[in-house]
Structure 1
Amino acid sequence: MKRRSLFLGAVIMLSLSMILAACGGEKKSSGDAKGDSKVKLLTIATGGTGGTYYPLGGMMGKIIKDETGINADVITSGASSENMAILKDNKADIAFTQTDIVSYATKGELMFDGKKIDSLKGLGTLYPETIQIVTTKSDIKSVEDLKGKVVSVGAAGSGTRANAEQILEAYGMSFDDIKVRDLSFDDSTAGIQDGSIDAAFITAGTPTSAVEGLSATDTVSIVPIDADKADALIEKYPFYIKDEVPADTYKIKEAVPTIAVLSMLVVREDLPEDVVYKVTKAIYENTDKIKHSKAQFIKAESALNGMSIDLHPGAKKYFDEKGISQ
């Protein structure tokens, strides 16, 4: 009996040791960061290697590592819309997107219809993604002049398409008033060049390479957004800000008023407050280390402009300390 008890005890001890070893041997991913202020790795979802998000993400990742000691793994993606799903699925901790796209995601609207994402919080906005209505036609001088014209409104399901629809709405128009083409930026400018389309909506940081290419062979015009229409759009859609396409961009002689959405950083809401605080501080207090043309726009003082979702408590703590509010 005693021998049997000893045997059973040994079996129980062995089982317990195996369970403890298994628990201790689990690899903790960045998706397990909830409640853990000792996060060792953050994954940043950016965009394609040829875009702006990817190089910025790499530079910010280095800043995060240097300033906080937390490693940052930068991954490529399909950018704004896809990044929201990546965060939802815990495949990243931080992501680049646009202020309008994350607004649609949290409300389950447009391309996120029926797929509302509740787990997203803002870290800060970065730089303008300017809405440019591009044409080479001399008879298109205003948004109203687009009536009856062949107009590219961006790829199907894109943020650009939503921008186009909202701007037309502000002018009492809709897609029914134009001949809609759903084209990428490159295909849009190629269509303008060969005459198959008359104008195109392009939402991107200026100067945009596709439009620069067009301006090398044709005289480009940017259609203005009137101030009162911009105000109405901002009131209805707070993710917009007033912007302009500067003089000499695409060889235009005078600055053209328009509106913009903003690129921004979004985080999962379950990231620890102290981690997001450190990351926010690291990025906005080391913008001089971001060697990119967009760095001039990345400032703590403007990081809440156009913010379309609630801030993460860690980011809010940083901006509160700086006396910055929306």
Structure 2
Amino acid sequence: MKKISLLLAAILLMFAVLVGCSETDPSEESSGGSSGSEGDEESVEVDTNVEAADVEAPTEFTFGAATVGGFWYTLAGAMSDTMNELFPGSSTTVVEGGSVSNLLGLGEGTFHIGFSNGQTVPEALEGKNAFEEPIDNVSTLATLYPNVFHIAVRADSDIHTVEDLKGKIVSPGIKGYSGELAFKEILELNDMSYDDLEGIEYIGTADAAQLLRDGHIDAITGMLAAPVSTYQELDTTLGIRLIPLKDETVEQLHAANEGYLPYTIEGGTYENIKEDTNTVAGYTVLLANNDLINEDVAYEITKMVVENKDAWANISSVMSDFNAEFSVENNVGNMHPGAERYYKEIGALE
């Protein structure tokens, strides 16, 4: 049994909040879409339990995460420390990255493993959008938790549908992040574009919340873990509503990109929002480079991630639903043969 101290990560998170860096807001893609643990300033101790694996592993692993202070970076740090015990004689280096850059790094062999968003994986496999060429040497080890598409407005707003955003000022998050890209696709599927809006504010979730509170914008959108603490605070102090997506919009998003999966934000997720909200989610995934991570090593990493699920949930409640069955059910793209062997061995995959 091992005690991993994450005090440094918590201090860095506190510093990021104090200096007002919205780019490292834990609810943003750059931070991996964190949860209600946003802003935690206390030391977190994580219990992990592994035995040294009798396999030939790389002497050095490189782990693509996201910006310091966010959940992806903190989770990668905890996992990498555990990997160092799983593979004695090996070391793991966590590198700042992001959903797209991690996939590019994995494809190029710069990273051995890394996090990305599920809706970005099909684009990489097909060579679309940010990917000039298909990336065919990357596969999934585990699917961890959902980043859910939210549209939030003030409770007294006259906005009730996506179409009602016409003539309104909206913050879609940081330009080029997954939430903004999803919002543009959703507008297009509803015969709209940014030209139909009065204005766009490219800012982080915390700053957007303040603008919504002050009446300077009409709506916030983003791919966020549910619940996200910024919205919880708005729900209790300002009063907000969530705008649902039409069934056909959800179906069209999934048809165009299998990484967008139907999702319901259940009533009560935010205390004063009692009704269910129909939307989509893209799931955070742990990926591996097939050329650098062989079947035996992938098997051991997948086993480590699944069998220490309670340790990761102790870092953030966003991981509370994660287990082997969850990972298999929400898998997007190709599964690594080593991961597949592990899931079959424990009965999570037929």
1:132 partnered with 2:156: no
Partner SS for 1:97: strand
State the Cα RMSD in Å. Answer: 2.5
Q: Which secondary structure state, in structure 1, belongs to the residue aligned with residue 170 of structure 2?
A: strand
Matched, 1:257 2:275: no
1:322 to 2:341 alignment: no
Give 1:95-244 correspondences, 5 Å limit: 95-112=114-131, 114-136=132-154, 137-181=156-200, 182-244=202-264
> Structure 2: which amino acid aligns with 1:77?
E
Instruction: Sort the Cα spacing of 1:286 and 1:316 in 2 relative to 1 into closer, same or farther, 3 A.
Output: same
User: Counterpart of 2:332?
Assistant: 308
> Which deviates more, 175-184 or 273-282?
175-184
Q: What TM-score, normalized to structure 1?
A: 0.79
% identity of equivalent residues: 29
What secondary structure sits across from 2:119 in the alignment?
A: helix
8 A Cα contact 1:64 1:70, kept in partner: no
- Number of paired residues? 290
CA distance in 2, matches of 1:76, 1:155: 21
Q: 1:177, CA displacement in angstroms?
A: 2.6
Instruction: Kindly provide the CA deviation profile for residues 125-164 of structure 1, in whole angstroms up to 9, marking residues without a partner as x.
Output: 1000011111115211122211221222232221112211
Q: Give the 3 Å change call, closer, same or farther, for CA 70–187 of structure 1 in structure 2.
A: farther
Q: Show CA shifts across 1:228-263 (max 9, x none).
A: 432332233211222233434443331423211100
Aligned counterpart for 1:289 among listed residues 285, 308, 311: 311
Residue 79 of structure 1, CA deviation: 2.3
Larger Rg: 1
Give the secondary structure class of the aligned counterpart of 2:207.
helix
Structure-2 change in CA distance of 1:122 and 1:64 (3 Å): same
Residue 288 (structure 2) aligns with: 267
The answer for unaligned runs of 5 or more in structure 2 is: 1-54
- 1: CA distance between counterparts of 2:167 and 2:70? 33
Q: Deviations over 1:3-31 (max 9, x none)?
A: xxxxxxxxxxxxxxxxxxxxxxxxxxxxx
Deviations 1:83-111 (A, max 9, x none): 22332343321101101122222323223
* Structure 1: runs of 5+ lacking an equivalent: 1-35
Give the superposition deviation at 1:70.
Answer: 6.6
| 1:30-89 residue CA offsets vs partner (Å, 9 max, x unmatched) | xxxxxx933233222211232111222222224434445474524241321222233234
Tell me: CA distance 1:210–1:47, structure 2 relative to 1, closer, same or farther (3 Å).
same
CA 1:210–1:82 in 2, change beyond 3 Å: closer, same or farther?
farther
Note closer, same or farther for the CA distance 1:316–1:224 as it changes in structure 2 (3 Å cut): same
Contact 2:116–2:285 (CA under 8 A) maintained in structure 1 = yes
Residue 47 of structure 1 pairs with residue 71 of structure 2: no
Q: List 4+ stretches of structure 1 deviating above 6 A.
A: none
